[in-house]
A and B are shown apart, each in its own frame.
Chain A
Amino acid sequence: MTWAFYSDVHANYEALEAVIADFARKDVSRSFFLGDAVGYGASPNECVEQIAAISEVRLLGNHDEAALNEEPPGDFNQYAKTAMDWTRATLDTRAKAIMQTFTIGEVREGFCLAHGSPDQPEQWNYVLDQVSAGQALSACSGQACLVGHTHQPLFFYQNGEGLPTASAVNEFELEQNKRYVVNVGSVGQPRDGDPRAGYVLYDPEKRRLQFRRVAYNIKMAQEKIRQAGLPEFLASRLAMGR
């Protein structure tokens, strides 16, 4: 049995479907969603329903919050803003009701889960470098915290005191004397130059984490974005993983 941690689906149903198929191949018994079900992509309702159907933890991301809010999203770029207007108009009442149950942070099995940094999670701060990783660790009690938000699979480990060290290797074991901040990457809009959908697979017996990448039907996801009349850049970036 393995567990899956995934984040930043961003209404990309094709990517989510491919990842769920990979869950089955990898014998995933529990899954934890770390936020941003909607925004950017063209399938918000389908994604929200699917996430709620399979995952025991559903966190609220900044795009999810913006979708439920009436106010204009202040710090969004122009593409995100356009997509957000579209998302608000497209989300049905059922999906909105499901999203109302999304939580801001959880602790499960000793893992601290948040969308941005668990240090003030409602601020949606990015965990991008050693300093922000250190802040994230000081805000949580467990051995590891798992986050999303940056769309970049990456982890930091801290050995005793001092700034954590960054690492991007594909697979590693959680060691007793170290603490970790793991960014699980993005299912629906990876930005690390690899266009394949990303998530983290965890083997609780071996205490091993693996950054998985799954190819999906990018053309179909792009086509839906274009047909929805969303900005072309939101379609083209999927093929570049940027």
Chain B
Amino acid sequence: MPEIVVKYEDKVLERIVTEKKQISIGRTSDNDIVLDNRGVSRRHADIEISGDSAVLIDNASLNGTFVNDRRVDEEVLSDADVITIGKYNMIFHTDSSRENKISDLDGTMVLNTKKQRERVKRDREDRQKVKRSGGAPVLVGEQGTDETEFKIGSGVITFGRAPWVNVRVRGWFISELQAKITPVGNNYVLSNVGRRNKTQVNGAAVEECELKNGDLIKIGKSVFRYIAGR
């Protein structure tokens, strides 16, 4: 049974475990998940469950529905996805019987209106970048790189100091081939393959990581932001 942890700012409001096939989210009290705030539409969004899969559908809401910081109309949910509506974060778990650790619930961001505006603006820009790439994921150069927008296609993307890599990266002791992004099915896997681990995702050193929208990738001194494709 899926479980949804509803948080307002960083406080857990409730945990919902339900057998219902359709879970409605909205401001009015006839919803399954009631988010009592003026930024939320009356019937803001629905989660439809069938078998093992869950789909989140935004009901043309005014302020939008976000999954892992990306505005969505319709999105297949994965375990631990964070749904954001207004100042509420809902963490979706495919199975309520999993071990609950308090640490799982920490670290979710606190929204304020300014942040929300920036998020909407950045999301709009990101969508345009993905549109320009024909729906493929895009790497945005944020720091220490000459790349501004790099399209990730169906091939492997290489990072390092060798002349033949796709993306040159800066920093001390960078290997010829330091890291690569490998498309596997519909996913993209970032691997550190250089001699020393010079690859970080969202501040933590990784040997390997499946990329999610908004991930900040740091290789040596070069920083990129990953925008998932459509």
Contacts and interface: CB of A to CB of B under 8 A. Distances in A.
Interface in B121-168: 155-158, 164-166
B195 to A, nearest CB: 9
Given A192-B156, A194-B158, A242-B155, A169 B191 contact: yes
A193 B157 contact: yes
B32 interface: no
B78 interface: no
B200 interface: no
A241 interface: yes
Given A154-B182, A193-B165, A195-B164, A168 B208 contact: yes
Contacts, number: 60
A194 B208 contact: no
A95 interface: no
Interface in A154-172: 154, 166-170
Interface residues of B, number: 19
Given A168-B208, A169-B207, A192 B185 contact: no
A239 B164 contact: yes
B192 A241 contact: no
A168 B157 contact: no
A129 interface: yes
Interface string B42-83: 000000000000000000000000000000000000000000
B184 interface: yes
Nearest to A191: B155
A168 to B, nearest CB: 4
Interface in A195-211: 195, 211
Given A170-B193, A239-B164, A154 B207 contact: no
A240 to B, nearest CB: 7
21 contacts: A130-B184, A152-B156, A166-B182, A166-B187, A168-B180, A168-B189, A168-B191, A168-B193, A169-B192, A169-B193, A169-B207, A169-B208, A192-B180, A193-B157, A193-B164, A193-B180, A194-B158, A194-B180, A195-B164, A240-B164, A241-B164
